[in-house]
Structure 1
């Protein structure tokens, strides 16, 4: 990744402890409820896929697992047209607060010409976080 890349950051406070958010970020059946179908395992080096409702498949690899604190993985969307390939890294940071947990999601790696993907991620992550809130309330 280069110095001219763009990053999407979404932060939100949830009224749940870090352990509960961690479960929603790492258990496949819960991830599917708020994000996408997957074969995720919270093991560094594990390769997994996220399958979007639109039919696209993301190729991912777990980079960092710090239980209840930080989770990071690649978020790669291969495309036959190299210009549309997205090679990014998503990092979740959980910070305990007096009333729950602040969750920070950072997705870095958008190239300057990937304006549509960048804007889509900004919109998409806000929706994912809203869905995550629903999962936390139910689980």
Structure 2
């Protein structure tokens, strides 16, 4: 079996976990920081994330534990196997004295997916910057 790699991005937010939870689970807020979607926080719900680049991710909710843990698949089908991605994104929210520590782990990158791995690492940091701007109205 091939070893899989994971991207982990962590950040402190000056908001309570409940506010972050809303931004992670309400479709109109998800659209503002991540992508257009038809998300519902129900285990087993299948949904799509649609990017400005014209592509779509096929996802399925795996875990919902408000306001602590949210996990879903993050799969990208492509005719070129090098670009296909089957991964899982897990958000873990931990209350802190100043707000919330958010940890995002996207696991499932094959060793030959260096470009996707690097893109995810940079992309999640940008998504978190956008998330920070969405939180005041979450």
TM-score class normalised by the smaller sequence? over 0.9
2:71 matches 1:108: no
TM-score (norm 2): 0.97
Q: Which residue of structure 2 aligns with residue 123 of structure 1?
A: 122
Q: Which residue of structure 2 aligns with residue 92 of structure 1?
A: 91
SS at match of 1:42: coil
Native 8 Å contact 2:2 2:110 kept in 1 = no
Q: Which residue of structure 2 aligns with residue 79 of structure 1?
A: 78
Tell me the distance in 2 between the aligned counterparts of 1:124 and 1:7.
Answer: 14
* Stretch moving more, 78-87 or 24-33: 78-87
RMSD across aligned positions (CA): 0.9
Displacement of 1:111: 0.2
Q: Which residue of structure 1 aligns with residue 44 of structure 2?
A: 45
Deviations 1:3-56 (A, max 9, x none): 511100000000100000000000000000000000000000000000011011
Displacement of 1:81: 1.6
TM-score (norm 1): 0.97
Q: Runs of 4 or more off by more than 2 Å in structure 1? A: none
| 1:22-41 correspondence runs (5 A) | 22-41=21-40
Unaligned runs of 5+ in 1: none
